[in-house]
């Protein structure tokens, strides 16, 4: 089992490759399949709400609020954590888990930290 952590941004953050240097960029790497076991999103700020969208995007498809959104405009109170763990998701090469969050605390960053736990299958 492995985990990936990233600070969410106001622009799309592809959590499986938050630095954008993988192949294919932002997604499950070439020749791999991942079973997502858990996704956590924590509002690290102790004073202000934060909001996020989460998308599951098939390889080659664009982010589309009408099609790929799994969580939409979820507001997390200060210090709270959202857990997505009741379903298992299997992602193939090129598939993405993408987040967009608010508010901007500077440099397109937010107070939301995301962690994805996965198994290679």
What tens digit of pLDDT does each residue of 11-32 get? 999 999 988 899 999 999 999 9
What is the Cα–Cα distance from 55 to 101, expressed in whole angstroms? 12
Give Cβ neighbours of residue 76 (< 8 Å, ≥ 6 apart).
41, 42, 43, 49, 50, 51, 52, 82, 112
Q: Tell me: pLDDT of 34 over 90.
A: yes
What tens digit of pLDDT does each residue of 52-69 get? 999 999 999 999 999 999
Query: Domain spans of the chain?
Result: 2-120
pTM of the model: 0.94
- State the fold for domain 2-120: Jelly Rolls (2.60.120)
């Amino acid at each position: 089992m492995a985990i990936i952590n990233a600070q969410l941004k106001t622009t799309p953050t592809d959590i499986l490759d938050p630095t954008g240097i993988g192949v294919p960029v932002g997604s499950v790497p070439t020749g791999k399949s991942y079973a997502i076991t858990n996704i956590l999103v924590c509002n690290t700020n102790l004073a202000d709400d934060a909001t996020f969208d989460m998308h599951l995007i098939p390889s080659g498809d664009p982010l589309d609020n009408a099609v790929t959104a799994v969580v939409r405009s979820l507001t997390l109170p200060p210090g709270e954590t959202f857990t997505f763990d009741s379903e298992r998701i299997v992602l193939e090469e090129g598939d993405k888990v993408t987040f967009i969050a608010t508010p901007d605390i500077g440099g397109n960053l937010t107070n939301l930290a995301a962690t994805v736990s996965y198994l290679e299958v």
